[in-house]
């Protein structure tokens, strides 16, 4: 649903459904922003963020997009290398605002 809404607002995007697929996709394109769920199968969002931050390529702006919003999760996101954290219940205008800030 979020992908459809972001497309309707002019964003070009690609979707991956697990961490390894996302990493492979990022090798094919130059993404400006990556929204990562934390609870993906295989590699978690934390794992993907850490691999991107420690990898040889320029890392895109990383947004943790998750249902988890407790202080420990937010702290772990920062440690893994995320630039920001959004809760999945965030209204669309907040998601769009976050993306605009990342692109600025």
Q: What is the 3-state secondary structure (H, E, C) of 42-81?
A: CCCHHHHHHHHHHCCCCCCEEEEEECCCCHHHHHHHHHHC
CB neighbours of residue 20 within 10 Å: 14
pLDDT surpassing 80 at residue 67:
yes
CA 62 to CA 46: how far, in whole Å?
11
Residue 33: in which H helix or E strand, if any?
A: strand 33-36
Query: What global pTM score does this model have?
Result: 0.89
Query: What does pLDDT average to over the chain?
Result: 90
Q: If pLDDT is split at 50, 70 and 90, which confidence band does 87 have?
A: very high
**What is the share, in percent, of the chain residues with pLDDT greater than 90?**
62
Nearest 5°: phi and psi at 16?
-130, 150
Q: What is the pLDDT of residues 23-56, one digit of tens each?
A: 999 888 888 999 999 998 889 999 999 999 887 7
Nearest 5°: phi and psi at 41?
-70, 150
């Amino acid at each position: 649903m979020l992908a459809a809404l972001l497309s309707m607002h002019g964003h070009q995007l690609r979707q991956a459904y697990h961490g390894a697929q996302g990493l492979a996709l990022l090798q094919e394109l130059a993404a400006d922003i990556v929204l990562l769920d934390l609870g993906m199968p295989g590699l978690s969002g934390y794992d993907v963020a850490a691999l991107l931050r420690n990898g040889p390529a320029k890392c895109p702006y990383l947004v943790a997009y998750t249902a988890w919003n407790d202080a420990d999760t937010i702290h772990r996101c920062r440690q893994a290398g995320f630039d920001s954290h959004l809760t999945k219940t965030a209204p669309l205008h907040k998601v769009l605002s976050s993306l605009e800030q990342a692109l600025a």
